[in-house]
Amino acid sequence: MTELTGFKGIGDKTAEALMRLGISCAEDMVFYFPRDYEEFEAPREIYALTPGRVGTVLCELRQDAAVNRYNGMVIVNVYISDMTGRLQISWYNMPYIRQKLKADSRFVFRGRVYEKNGRLIMSQPKIYDPEEYESSYVGRLMPVYRLGKGISSRLLIKTSAAVLRSSLLDQVSKEFLPKAILDAQALMGERDSLLCIHFPKSRERLYEARKRLCFDDFFLFFMLQKKRKQLFSEQASEYRLRPDMRLLRMTADLPFELTRAQAEAVKVISRDMSSGRVMNRLLEGDVGSGKTIVAFLAMAHTAFCGYQAALLVPTEVLARQHFDKLTELIDKQGLELHPVLLTGSMTQTQKSEARELIASHRADIIIGTHALFQEKVEYDSLGLVVTDEQHRFGVSQREAMKQKGGMPHMLFMSATPIPRTLSMILYGDMDVSVLDSRPEGRLPIKNTVVGPAYRKNAYKFIYDEIKKGHRAYIVCPAIDDGGQDEEPAGEQELENVEDLFLKLRKIFPKEVRIGRLHGRMSSQEKEKAMGELRDGAIDILVSTTVIEVGVDVPEATVMMIENAERFGLSQLHQLRGRVGRGSDQSYCIMINTSKGEEAAERLSIIRDSNDGFFIASEDLRLRGPGDLLGVRQSGDMGFGVADIYRDHELLAPARDSAEQIISGSIPISEDIRKALDERLSRSMENSYYV
């Protein structure tokens, strides 16, 4: 590993900040791909500027810049015009910039344009010398990286360029695909792809680089998948379950009847665990389809047969929720089952007590977060591991959990809707159970897509629901007026959590309790906010998408999503799944701030359907391959670059290539094999796949 501090401008403090982004060495910088690109185009006439997009204009100022003050904010304005229109250009809290903006000066201004009260406004643009812009910028694509505290875009660009210019690139870009595959798939070489993905010389070269790296993601995924399948197909299980009447009684005594799909899933899971082979099954179900009770029954069956079962979940609030629900079910039915909770925030005494119960087998069902696979936790006979939202855990974490039981049965649960055509490829190594119906008593969510003018009516509707004892979520795409959740946005028109939180406190009566939640809060703060909504301490939670996988709050009946056009359809569906979890009618209000036909078409799909699998298929149809410039704009399955929806046409070729390598139908040299082994090793920790 090459230390980052060996590069100019990176000291210990900066290296620590980079480490928080997952960049712990120079090799990591090579694989820290841009999230998007800033495309520098030639200046346009004013009429050609598009609201909501970045535009570039060339002008000569006719008068000095003006300075205005509004609500304690200093605003510098210049006004320009040409034969086609008039444009206001504004800078906020940058009073010093007026010294540069003098009459008769010529500049290129580049910034985001929006429309307000019929006026075109360019906000916070960068300023360039016209000659320099023409010679050094026009036609270039500059990388835009995900940033973190203490890390600027300029620093990442400079560091990336320095690393890629060094000899390190040759060391980490060893070709691992044979020429036969490169030629058959028309793929760029590995070294060129890593260089071009950071600093593409053209849009065409960027697409070529991106195609290669997407193929790499899928190819490595399938290589790991094939090896995994071989392992499980040959692995006998030491935890062979037997039929148990207590499981039948437990199922019969549930306060509801299982759906057909749930009953079938319980049946095949029990059959798997009784077969003498290690189970490797995915339980895939739409939000609200009832996966949890299927998992509970599988865990109970394991415990009835004298083994232990563990449920691994991504958040402490979710762990507590599952523990409370299971404990309530056990108490009501008088079952001889002994659950225990283990999470990171528990006191050392509580953790020690939980670990002792687990090691002595006085606890037979264990529910918790990453604390379950820590070294100090020892299991007596771990026969089943259930992983909820499996893609939120790294491979090494899941492997550590598996090793706790030698070779326990594995049940993975996912609420990420995937079109069935893709599911057959992605889960080719697993047995799959699909829950395709909702439990009895849950009403379909009523959806509406409206414009910004409807907000006042929406607030009144939310207040009426709160007076009935219900609760609401309001989701924003940004944390504050300077950035989207987890990454900068710099767009004035986006609704954001901090500003909306303050605004709602003035709009709603004082008795309405409002909380907020976003990605910059600590884990403890996030858990507290979600817990308060669950327990009824707050009525409205203003949040970013961090609630996408969250608590089950049956009293939450309204989901309001601001700037809904900014989200992918599958993500909107996941967000909507936070409501409709009780017997009361629930609603989803999506605010569309775009005037485009494409956004209206996309949002009409989710407005008219609550079927996550249909929505995922429509999402796939609308996106198509390569329709976005950025590297990872949407749809995150844990791949470095690839998106299973946008890049689905590469899935089958990558799978076939992996099969050809494994079968030996395409021979590979010793150098290629060694490079492939190195890349497989590197990809495992970052892979979605276990």
Average pLDDT, the chain: 87
The DSSP string of 386-404 is: EEESGGGS-HHHHHHHHHT
The pLDDT value recorded for residue 322 is 92
Residues 477 and 406 in one domain: no
Residues 410 and 466 in one domain: no
Residues 403 and 463 in one domain: no
Q: Is the pLDDT of residue 496 over 80?
A: yes
Instruction: HSE, CB side, 13 Å, CA atoms: give it for residue 285.
Output: 24
Whether residue 22 is contained in a domain is answered as no
Domain boundary among 110, 138, 166: 138
CA pair distance 153, 36, nearest whole angstrom: 12
- Looking at the DSSP bridge assignments, the partners of residue 365 are 309, 339
Hunting for tokens 């089958």 — which residue is that? Answer: 652
Where residue 472 sits, what CATH number does that domain have? Answer: 3.40.50.300
Whether residue 134 is contained in a domain is answered as yes
The pLDDT value recorded for residue 490 is 37
Average pLDDT (339-357) is 94
Residues 399 and 497 in one domain: no
Total domain count for the chain? Answer: 3
More confident residue, 218 or 617: 218
Q: Is the pLDDT of residue 486 over 50?
A: no
Average pLDDT (589-614) is 89
Q: Is the pLDDT of residue 638 over 70?
A: no
Residues 451 and 590 in one domain: yes
Whether residue 392 is contained in a domain is answered as yes
Please choose, from the candidates 531, 528, 502, 499, the residue with its C-alpha nearest in 3D space to the C-alpha of residue 514.
502
pTM greater than the 0.75 cutoff:
no
Q: Is the pLDDT of residue 393 over 70?
A: no
The pLDDT value recorded for residue 289 is 85
pLDDT band at 492 (very low <50, low <70, confident <90, very high): very low
pLDDT band at 129 (very low <50, low <70, confident <90, very high): very high
Fill in the amino acid letter for 461: F
pLDDT band at 453 (very low <50, low <70, confident <90, very high): very high
CA pair distance 661, 669, nearest whole angstrom: 11
The pLDDT value recorded for residue 396 is 53
The pLDDT value recorded for residue 328 is 94
pLDDT band at 631 (very low <50, low <70, confident <90, very high): very low
More confident residue, 472 or 617: 472
Average pLDDT (324-337) is 95
**What's the full length of the chain, in residues?**
690
Q: Which of 66-70, 337-341, 391-395, 499-503 has the lowest mean pLDDT?
A: 391-395
Average pLDDT (304-332) is 92
Hunting for tokens 């600027």 — which residue is that? Answer: 152
Domain boundary among 609, 635, 656: 609
The pLDDT value recorded for residue 334 is 95
More confident residue, 513 or 285: 513
The CB-based long-range contact list for 9-18 (8 Å cut-off, 24+ gap) reads 9/155, 9/158, 9/159, 10/159, 13/150, 14/150, 14/151, 14/155, 17/148, 17/149, 17/150, 17/151, 18/148, 18/151, 18/159
pLDDT band at 185 (very low <50, low <70, confident <90, very high): very high
The pLDDT value recorded for residue 395 is 52
Q: Is the pLDDT of residue 528 over 50?
A: yes
Report percent pLDDT > 90 for the chain.
54
The range of the structural domain enclosing residue 379 comes to: 248-275+290-414
Whether residue 351 is contained in a domain is answered as yes
Residues 483 and 584 in one domain: yes
Whether residue 206 is contained in a domain is answered as no
